[in-house]
Structure 1
């Protein structure tokens, strides 16, 4: 009796899977993953435009290309995936009869009905499958392998590489897009940013040339001005960095998403918070300024050792040591922040993002 119940259940399961095939005759199409990718690409273009990283002209060009690819993927979806209804019905009937019989036969020979079920917790902890986005990127990579002259393809996939820590691949893709499609401020700045990520936050001479090329085409390029200022700060050119970032903030819109970051770096570079304390330090001789700044940084460190829940404090401490070119202390501050913020996922994410930006901790 139990085997009959199993056979009926198996038949019902097979029928529930095959019935939509018999009714509609539609097969899944891999173009759905491409659609999701290009929709995300369009959203990414809009975000970069809002952040001032992409000029309106470049936005229209990139968005038009992504939209074209999206329309082509949508047109391909299900276009040639229709199956014959009659063949589907025959296949369903065959599967309903043969599959349960074969399954019961094999299970009677090889199965172990006495084994315990897989616990729910174990299933919940199982590793998820690869994302559809990664699958879409793999398709684009296969396309580029066959059509290496497709500059738009490199421009589409390069930001994905950069967001996922594949800086070397991003450099290669941005460089090929620049070569095949021609120079624009956004392409030069994106290539420079990829080089900075590859150097763990350090602005190399090669990256600086990319940013200078972006500024030659668009003197108002926010991302290029930011990294040129960062290069000056890293090279010890304090006054130059302050001048660049001060002008960048003066030109920024009130809702610029990077405004707060630049303001914090500028504040740290000046060596003191705004207000009366900052004015007093600014009036000191250079040597006294440095001593006062280091004293403030050490007091901040001592306070964080007593109360490590202050995310902003950790961010200021890591920036301060980085600006003071004290790499070991910056690394120690990063380790301390990660330990103190172990239960604050958002705080840890902000600390890790700053560490990557400044090249702290390798």
Structure 2
């Protein structure tokens, strides 16, 4: 029944369009070619007369007037020598009416097959309101950004925007949103940790000094905060304080449930301890924290390239392979991460425990 109704509507639409175009096809009421040419010549003559008047009034110079007169005369001659238009235009009305009839005929079957004529329209306001529920994050971000541009002290707006930025991996923006959340609300271990994590991700996985300070503040408020514990231990490891990092990781693992989503990442970092990265003195750490994002990334890439060279010389280093795969993935070097993953699988072929760890990391980093 619904299909029949839409067929009727389509037929009615085509009939109305045809009725409107029929006078054009027949040419009724339209000026003839001769009439249009006569009109053009009359207009050009009037323009020449008006131009002479402008010269008499002094509103146009002789040089400009001569140039304008030449152009108007050229058009007048062209109109006089071209009394009829291109005959190709005679087919245009028929093309228009055929198009008006063919388009509904083609569109209707497609709409019947794929369309939903009974589905109600969703108002724009409702779509924007349901943007997060419907995973329409672009709409969500745009909506809240416009709102916060006018009301930057709206805490709820920043609380919506921060996770949206994290989902979009816009880490610099996520850090700014988290900073505003802390500015507008009482500090909590969760909010402080979120801010610190955004700074870490914006630094390509390196824990800058500002972020480490934040994680320490979060742990004062909640010594069991998982995110703060993990990044605090990671910062110690990156600073070369391996004994302190090992103790922090082990204490965290002891309190971590077997089904905790961060457990595999924690185990990977603990296993990576065996790689024994070179200790960084405090000055190096401070210099890295003050670097621009580009310089930090260049330094990190240099360190990762060095690790890859070491693995070429000594490939029997599972922790090193796990570290390399993770680093390449975090840097966005997907093809190189996949290459490292394949080499690690080949290196530990037959070692079920090693293969399980490699596969787990690959799933986590989405590079399988």
Question: What is the TM-score when the length of structure 1 is the normalising length?
Answer: 0.50
- Greater Rg, structure 1 or structure 2? 2
Greater relative contact order structure (CA < 8 Å, 6+ sep): 1
Question: What is the TM-score when the length of structure 2 is the normalising length?
Answer: 0.49
